[in-house]
């Protein structure tokens, strides 16, 4: 199991989500941290990964023991232009 860490910005973005979306994102991140399951792809052109949770995206970095969530938001916004 990997440790989940949220940046200050990602934590604020998570808190701003509707309750059902927030629960889905947290569940997806926890499932990925424990089992490695999830719709995850490596980002092209820069470091990091993206996780798709419905219409929301989580941009994160990871190493052997940690997952650092950098951005959480809707795909319709400028998700891939940030961070």
- In tens digits, the chain (83 residues) has pLDDT values of 899 999 999 999 999 999 999 999 999 999 999 999 999 999 998 899 999 999 999 999 999 999 999 999 887 765 555 55
Cβ-based neighbours of 41, under 8 Å, separated by 6 or more = 49, 50
Q: Where are the domains of the chain?
A: 3-81
pLDDT at residue 78, as a whole number? 58
CATH topology for 3-81 is YaeB-like fold (3.30.2310)
Note the pLDDT of residue 67: 96
pTM attached to this predicted model: 0.85
Pairing between β-strand 40-42 and β-strand 3-6 as defined by DSSP bridges: unpaired
């Amino acid at each position: 199991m990997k440790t989940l860490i949220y940046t200050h910005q990602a934590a604020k973005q998570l808190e701003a989500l509707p309750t059902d979306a927030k629960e889905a994102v947290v569940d997806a991140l926890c499932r990925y941290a424990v089992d490695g399951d999830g719709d995850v792809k490596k980002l092209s052109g820069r470091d990091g990964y993206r996780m798709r949770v419905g219409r929301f995206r989580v941009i994160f970095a990871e190493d052997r023991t940690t997952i650092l969530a950098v951005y959480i938001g809707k795909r319709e916004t400028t998700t891939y232009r940030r961070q």
